[in-house]
Amino acid sequence: MGRLVVVSNRTANLTKKTQAGGLTVGIVDALKSQDGLWMGWDGRISEDISAPKQEKYDNVTTLTTSLTPEEHEKYYLGFSNKVLWPAFHYRLDLMDYRTEFADCYASVNERFAATLAPQLKQDDVIWVHDYHMIPMAAKLRQKGCGNKIGFFLHIPFPSIDVFSAVPRHEWLRSCLLQYDLIGFQTVNDVQNFHRYLKEHSDADIISPELVRVDGRTIHIGHFPIGIDVKQFAQTSSKPDDTVELERIRRKMLKRFQIISADRLDYSKGLPHRIKAFRKFLDLYPEYQGHAEYLQIASPSREDVTAYGDIKSELEQLAGAVNGKFADFNWAPIQYINRSIARSKLAPLFKSSLIGLITPLRDGMNLVAKEYVAAQDDADPGILILSKFAGAAEELSEALIVNPYDINDVAQAIQKAATMPLAERQLRHRKLLKRVTEHDAQWWQREYLDALLGKTERPQLIHQFTKHSPIHLTT
Ligand code: ADQ
């Protein structure tokens, strides 16, 4: 294999690895071992897009370009985040489609491809990421690129009815079928794509993982993304005075902490979660004065109206719970509307008895894996996880809940709060094993090996459906 060339909407800051999430860690490691090139948007909005910028960090080169104000509005905020993001997260009600959004989405992909194509060498392997860049392979192929090109979708691939409601879905499908490997997070995503192809394409479908179109073979697979487990566990064990002080305070007052951390996004189910916590305090009043819920929500895509709406809804809901239950020395909800450094986030996860991760839809959800990695083996906390997070396919020893069912989530909080240590330890052991086996490095190796045809993965589709239930005696 020659170089690895990664294309994604944004590139990461390669000088700050310790602040990076699993996605960056996985990609950077792959790039470093392969003399890589990473192309994407530099995060700036400017009328001057004439000269893409090249920078080199060790053996990795970044190739970045700005977006014009129009591209930012129509490609990024528009088609990517007002059409594809809501639709792929089953929120057709929030989809705001305009023809000019789709046209601009196609033309930005065209511009990225035109910038990249002259830089490509014959044996480069290209790995394209996420919903912003679906047409990239098609655009590169039009320029004569015969290289291996893989695509990985970080968000869910929705069910057939939902995907076929996206305007120009046939075009998106034909773009996807220009890749050599289409990677999804979960078996469920692979199955959704398979059903869609069966109904809406004349591709020759050999199996859910193998399709032939116009003499080309396309591989399809699921590659659940992981985190850098060792690094996150180490960070969680570094002493942090303020977190430790809080932990001691809670211990003295016989209190425990429930924690959630998300981007402030309607797909993450934050209002439902606050309602569930309120229900928990109503159903189990003995926890009033003892349960503390810390919600850390980092601002995200604030230029899109739906994101502003969720912010005010959340503030109102949290305020109402505190208004009803708070006492002079206890507030049930602490709501932080900003990003927190990983050096703080990891010990906070470790000091929380419950990780409450209940998205309404999520491609994977790395916070769930980070919460598991941060726990103390001797006295681990309990993960409550939405059945609609991709991570639920792997993490079946969490307490799996339906985030729409407020009672279900409230009861799971009660179950976690009273769970015996032995059961917490057993569940944690199993979860940690899986999170460790499928870490960020595993993810990028599995994907690239499949793209290069080094592995046959015929049985994978069944891999995550076989976990045995918890037996406390084992
Ligand atoms: P995201 O939707 O961004 O990613 P997620 O997988 O949870 O969601 O990753 C978020 C990352 O940001 C985690 O590393 C987390 O620790 C961090 N984070 C979240 N809230 C934070 C806060 N308030 N302060 C600081 N850090 C915070 C998309 C898909 C996911 C998929 C990932 C990777 O939507 O489903 O898991 O890509 O493929």
Q: What pLDDT digit, counting tens, does each position of 26-50 carry?
A: 788 888 888 899 999 999 999 998 8
Q: Residues 384, 354: contact at Cβ < 8 Å?
A: yes
* 364 in contact with ligand 1, CB cutoff 6 A: yes
pLDDT band at 14 (very low <50, low <70, confident <90, very high): confident
User: Which pair of tokens denotes residue 131?
Assistant: 């919903």
What's the 462 CA to ligand 1 centre distance in angstroms?
26
- 3-class SS of residue 279: helix
Of residues 305, 302, 294, 365, the one with CA closest to residue 332: 294
Rounded distance between C-alpha atoms, residue 176 and residue 197, angstroms: 11
* pLDDT score at 469: 41
Q: Which residue is closest in CA terms to ligand 1's atom 14?
A: 21
Neighbours of 325 (CB within 10 A): 19
What's the 401 CA to ligand 1 centre distance in angstroms?
20
What value does the mean pLDDT take over residues 281-291? 98
The tens digit of pLDDT for each residue in 234-274 reads 999 998 999 999 999 999 999 999 999 999 999 999 999 99
* 227 in contact with ligand 1, CB cutoff 6 A: no
Give DSSP secondary structure letters for 171-201.
HHHHHHTTSSEEEESSHHHHHHHHHHHHHH-
* pLDDT score at 306: 82
Task: Tell me which of 364, 385, 394, 438 to substitute to probe ligand 1's pocket, judged by most ligand atoms within 8 Å of the beta carbon.
Answer: 364
- 3-class SS of residue 22: helix
Task: Tell me which of 366, 367, 442 to substitute to probe ligand 1's pocket, judged by most ligand atoms within 8 Å of the beta carbon.
Answer: 366
Rounded distance between C-alpha atoms, residue 82 and residue 279, angstroms: 32
Of residues 108, 39, 99, 97, the one with CA closest to residue 69: 108
Cβ neighbourhood burial of 414 (10 Å; 0-12, 13-18, 19+): middle
What value does the mean pLDDT take over residues 133-159? 98
What value does the mean pLDDT take over residues 60-83? 97
User: Which pair of tokens denotes residue 349?
Assistant: 């996860």
Ligand 1, closest atom to CA 338?
A: 23
* 21 in contact with ligand 1, CB cutoff 6 A: yes
Across the chain, mean pLDDT equals: 93
What's the 47 CA to ligand 1 centre distance in angstroms?
30
Query: What share of the chain has pLDDT > 70, as a percent?
Result: 94
What's the 28 CA to ligand 1 centre distance in angstroms?
17
* Per-residue CA distances from 258 to 291, 323, 426, 432 (Å): 7, 19, 20, 19
* Per-residue CA distances from 261 to 269, 296, 357, 424 (Å): 11, 5, 8, 21
Q: Which residue has the tokens 């939405």?
A: 386
* H or E segment and range at residue 263: strand 256-263
What's the 368 CA to ligand 1 centre distance in angstroms?
9
Ligand 1, closest atom to CA 363?
A: 35
User: Which pair of tokens denotes residue 32?
Assistant: 């470093």
Residue 21 has pLDDT above 80, yes or no: no
> What's CA 195's distance to the chain center, in Å?
23
Rounded distance between C-alpha atoms, residue 205 and residue 39, angstroms: 32
* H or E segment and range at residue 354: strand 354-357
* H or E segment and range at residue 115: helix 99-116
* 363 in contact with ligand 1, CB cutoff 6 A: yes
* 24 in contact with ligand 1, CB cutoff 6 A: no
> What's CA 390's distance to the chain center, in Å?
8
Ligand 1, closest atom to CA 391?
A: 36
Q: Residues 150, 180: contact at Cβ < 8 Å?
A: yes
Q: What is the largest CA-CA distance in the chain?
A: 71
What's the 405 CA to ligand 1 centre distance in angstroms?
23
Q: Which of 304-308, 313-317, 436-440 has the lowest mean pLDDT?
A: 304-308
Which positions are annotated as active-site residues?
154, 362
* 353 in contact with ligand 1, CB cutoff 6 A: no
Residue 465 has pLDDT above 50, yes or no: no
Of residues 259, 444, 442, the one with CA closest to residue 367: 259
